[in-house]
Amino acid sequence: MFTGIVQATAGIAAIHDRAGLRTFTLDFPEGFCQDLAIGASVSTDGVCLTVTEILSPTQANFDVMQQSLNITTLGSYGQGDRVNVERAAKDGAEIGGHPLSGHIDFSGMLASVREFDNNLVWRVAVPPEFRRYVFAKGYIAIHGASLTVSEVNRAEGWFEVWLIPETRRATVFEGKKAGDRLNIEIERSTQVVVDTVREAVQESLGRLQPVLEALLKEKGLSLEDFVQPPALKNP
């Protein structure tokens, strides 16, 4: 498990390809690898990777399967690129962000970037099948960083987050631009609540559901507007 608080950025020192695998050699800041062991987990731009070899006090190797390369942004990285990194949380660790699994749900496109009072405002595109899990004031993880959603537009398929100066300083986000792909992990408890409510609604409505959905569509609404988890509703 990870906390969503990026601890450092690491450089990709080397990349080696084998059948079905790509090995990344990451170059970490001094002290990051203290007590790091083979088999340990490190969140790399939000992807949970396992240490396969310790090369030096500041370098380690990680093997990435082809499926992970396809689903995440890791498949597009090259030598010299930098990534957000976080060590796995220890028992009793303070959760400064929100609990993350390191399992990426999708890669979303950074649709636009604007600056406002020293903050960056990102608008991120969301595939239709994941829009139901994104709520204003809810959590979302981008490249392993726990962020709060400021605005959502499900009809248009986007959400926005604000990046404060400290987040910009501590992560690789400063260099991102519109059109870049981002690793997104949705908040798991929100997913569970939404799916549970949706199943309950489907069971309760039965054959009436298509009729109700058609009536709501005429009003510019959908069932999604009425199954928002109560804890996440705007005040």
The span from the CA of 102 to the CA of 45, in Å, is 9
**pLDDT exceeds cutoff 80 at 169:** yes
pLDDT band for 234, please (50, 70, 90 cuts).
very low
Decide if 98 is inside a domain.
no
Q: Which stretches does DSSP call E strand in 79-178?
A: 82-87, 106-116, 119-125, 139-142, 145-153, 158-163
Decide if 226 is inside a domain.
yes
Residues 147 and 213 in one domain: no
The span from the CA of 25 to the CA of 172, in Å, is 18
Retrieve residue 22's tokens: 């790509």
Residues 209 and 184 in one domain: no
Decide if 218 is inside a domain.
yes
Residues 130 and 68 in one domain: no
Decide if 31 is inside a domain.
yes
**pLDDT exceeds cutoff 70 at 221:** no
Residues 161 and 213 in one domain: no
Retrieve residue 94's tokens: 């303070």
Average pLDDT over every residue of 200-211: 73
Mean pLDDT, all residues of the chain: 89
Residues 12 and 75 in one domain: yes
The span from the CA of 76 to the CA of 70, in Å, is 9
Q: Which residues contact 70 (CB under 8 A, 6 or more apart)?
A: none
The total number of structural domains that make up the chain = 3
pLDDT band for 223, please (50, 70, 90 cuts).
low
The pLDDT assigned to 224 comes to 67
Average pLDDT over every residue of 134-142: 93
Residues 113 and 131 in one domain: yes
Residues 149 and 209 in one domain: no
Decide if 100 is inside a domain.
no
Decide if 203 is inside a domain.
yes
- Positive/negative CA dihedral, 144, 148, 150, 151: positive
What backbone torsions phi and psi does residue 174 show, to the nearest 5 degrees? Answer: -60, -30
**pLDDT exceeds cutoff 60 at 188:** yes
Q: Chain centroid to CA 200: how far?
A: 28
Domain that holds residue 61: 8-87
Decide if 181 is inside a domain.
yes
Q: Which tens digit of pLDDT belongs to each residue from 41-64?
A: 999 999 999 999 999 999 999 999
Residues 171 and 209 in one domain: no
Q: Which tens digit of pLDDT belongs to each residue from 144-164?
A: 999 999 999 988 999 999 999
Q: What CATH number is associated with residue 47?
A: 2.40.30.20
Decide if 96 is inside a domain.
no
Higher-confidence position of 85 and 227: 85
